[in-house]
Structure formats: structure tokens, C-alpha cells
Amino acid sequence: MFSANKIKSVDFYRKIPRDLTEASLSGAGLSIVAALSMMFLFGMELNNYLSVSTSTSVIVDKSSDGDFLRIDFNISFPALSCEFASVDVSDVLGTNRLNITKTVRKFSIDSNLRPTGAEFHSGTVANAVKHDDEVDEASVEGSFSLTTQNFDKYVHQFPITVVNFYAPWCSWCQRLKPSWEKAAKIIKERYDPEMDGRILLAKVDCTQEGDLCRRQHIQGYPSIRIFRKGSDLRSDHGHHEHESYYGDRDTESLVKTMENLVASLPTESQKLALEDKSDAAEHAKRPAPLAGGCRIEGYVRVKKVPGNLIISARSDAHSFDASQMNMSHVINHMSFGRKVTPRAMSDVKRLIPYVGSSHDRLNGRSFINAHRDLEANVTLEHYIQIVKTEVITRKGYKLIEEYEYTAHSSLAHSVDIPAAKFRLELSPMQVLITENQKSFSHFITNVCAIIGGVFTVAGIVDSILHHTIRIMKKVELGKNF
């Protein structure tokens, strides 16, 4: 058994009787300063322990083979009609997807980017438009030529006016011309414009009547438009309400379509129109674009290899005048990868302020081609370099996965139809940001070091002050020391 005295002999902190100690003002002041210093340094150490620290590393992209990258976009084209706007995707592996419609929506807009109606539906695209096999070069012209001066007069005079907007240099227009004139002659004989007056087949040369074609938002040739009396009276912002014909262009199909249009007119004993219910007729006729612009929004999925996202005018049965194409656009939104919720992004920015600053850098940017060069086609190109970023919490949980990018834009001249091109270059590396776990034992060690260090330093300073004051008093008394 150890006695109490033996146990007391190992006391590191032996006590001096209070009667043998002496308090001083300097010691009290130093004690207060030491206590405040301990509290301040303890608070700093606690804040450092509770704060989040991260380490950033660059590693090879961990995406597995076959992973796809999602591209979300919302782009407004003030001078590209929804009628021909096409979203295409290609890459270095040979993928070439044209006119994507499943995940893309189009809305007609005016030149000021204001919407003009509901969503524009392109309808079913035919594999090939049928034309007459035999061309009669000696065919008599049966359609009526319209100009800017008489267009409104005839459109508002006849219950139905079908107009072929064409350009003489267009190969598709040249193939359509014989069947169009022949069909117009047949319809003219069956429904004499002067005696019957129910339908008129006409044509407009857009190389001669440029203002009229622009007013009707004609961008591809030939464009066959169906005007109904009283349906095209809106004049606000250049909006129009009529139909476009996308069906076959042989004489038989054209005549049948015109017959169905006449049959749909109400007679004196009918108050409801007799509409053709066949699927072919429904697919051949669709509402024409209400304005000359288009807002394209949606998403596409691409392979994680260098590639292109291209938006341009495309058609398998129309020609385009490249000198009149203007691919100016405003990027309302463009981002890559999964959509990050605003709450998740705010949490990440609170922890790591510099993350999330470049995942939407093209949003709201305008690319308007004010200096149009008619001698060369102008394509707006955007070179985008994409880097994947992952944020991992201290528990190993993936907080977010986002794709940040840099973008450089320029005007390019080419011999092809102008387009808006987004050239995508994905980095083979990715940025990995990991939240570091701080040791509690390290925190306790630092707290003890702070308290012990301040206490010891304060004791040393107090001892120096005490001895200095004693020496000064002896000197004043004239004592030797």
C-alpha cells in the first residue's frame, strides 16, 4: 500500500501557501491580457477547425467508355425561320445526326426576339418529294405572276390563293416549274378565276420581288404557301397566318391538293368546311411560320469526344440563297452535363467560391453579325473547351459533378450555307476537389499549446517586470545590489 505522502511526492504542481505569495498590479494586468489572448487564440483555432479546407488535383477523366455528355441550350435566331432550322451533331468517331427533333423545340420569334405564338411543329419529314418523271418543255404557263403591287389585291380577292415563291437559279424550282404550270392550267380550266373565282394558282419571282418575299419570310426555294381570304390580315410586327405545302410536287398530287382545298370551302348550304381527312393531306399542309425568326431550345446527347453542334438551314427539297442568310443569334442558355440545382450550386459556392463560375459563361451573350459581307458567307463559330469538375465531401459523397468551359467566338467565311457552329473539345483530364477531414486530436493539441504557451510567456514577462521594478526601487534608495 502506498501512503498518501508517497503519492504526494510525485505531484508536478506543488502548491505554495497563499500566505507566502504576493499579488501585484503588473501581475494582474498580465493575467488579464493572457486570459484575453488565450480566448482569442482559442476562437481562431476553433474557427479553423470548423472551416472547410479542400485540396485540388488534376486526374485523368474517370468517365467510363460509352458515357454521353448532355448539352442543354436555348438560342434565339432573329433571321432564321423555324421552317428550315435544323440542329445537327457530328464527332470525330463518325457520328452524324441531322435535324434532331425528338429533344428539340422551336418557337417562332420576330426580329426583336419576341415570341409570336405557340410551339412550331415541323411535322413528319418525307423521305423524298415526288416530281414528274417526264418534263414537257413546251408546256404553257398557267399560273398568274404576282408582284409587290398586286399581291395583296389578289390574295384578298380569292377565297384560296396558292403561291409558288421561287428563284430561277434554284434547281428544285426548275424541277417544280413544269408540274406547277401544268397543274395551274388544269385548275384554271376547272375553276375559271373570272367565272368561278374560288381558287387562284400564282407565282412570285423572289429575285425580282425581294421585298415581298422577305415580308412573307421566304428563306427556302421553292416555298408553296396557301393563303385563305381573310386569314392573312394581321400586320403587327409582320406576322402572317397561312399554311405551307410540303407534299409531293408532281402534277397529280398538286391537282389533288387544289381540289381538296376547293372542296373545303363552304357552299351556300354549308356552314362548316369539308376538310380532307387523309393522313397525306395532313402531313402535306402545315401552318407557315408566323415570323422570320426562331428560338431553338432543348438538349442533345453527344459522345465525350471532339465534335460539333451545328444549327443551320436544312432541307432535302429546297434551295437557299447563301448571300441572304443571316445566322446572328443570342445564346440565352448553354450548359453541359447534368443540371445542377440552384441550392446545390449555392452550397458549393459557399464552400468553394471559385467553383461554378464558368459553367454558363455564354448565357445572355449576343452574337449579331452587323457587318454582313455579301461576297462571302458568314458563319459564326464558337470554340468551346470543356473540363469536368467533381467535388467530393469529407465522407466520400459526390456533392456535384459539373462541366466548366471556356469559349472563343469568331466570324468565319466559307463556301457553304452559313451556320452557327459550336466546336466542342473535351479535356481528357478532370479537376477533383476533395474536402479534407481535420483531426480532432490535432485541434486539442493546438488548444493545449495555446494555453500553455500563453501562460508560460506571460509568467516569463511577469518575472522580468517584477525583478526590474525591484531593481529600480533599490536604485532609488541608493542601495547596492
Active-site positions read 170, 173
Over the chain, what HEC string results? CCCHHHHHCCCCCCCCCHHHCCCCHHHHHHHHHHHHHHHHHHHHHHHHHHCCCEEEEEEECCCCCCCEEEEEEEEEECCCCCCCEEEEEEECCCCEECCCCCCEEEEEECCCCCEEEEEECCCCCCCCCCCCCCCCCCCCCCCEECCCCCHHHHHHHCCEEEEEEECCCCHHHHHHHHHHHHHHHHHHHHCCCCCCCCEEEEEEECCCCHHHHHHCCCCCECEEEEEECCCCCCCHHHCCCCEEECCCCCHHHHHHHHHHHHHCCCCCCCCCCCCCCCHHHHHHEEECCCCCEEEEEEEEEEECCCEEEEEEECCCCCECCHHHCCCCEEEEEEEECCCCCHHHHHHHHHHCCCCCCCCCCCCCEEECCCCCCCCCEEEEEEEEEEEEEEEECCCCCEEEEEEEEEEEEEEEEECCCCEEEEEEEEEEEEEEEEECCCCHHHHHHHHHHHHHHHHHHHHHHHHHHHHHHHHHHHHHHCCCC
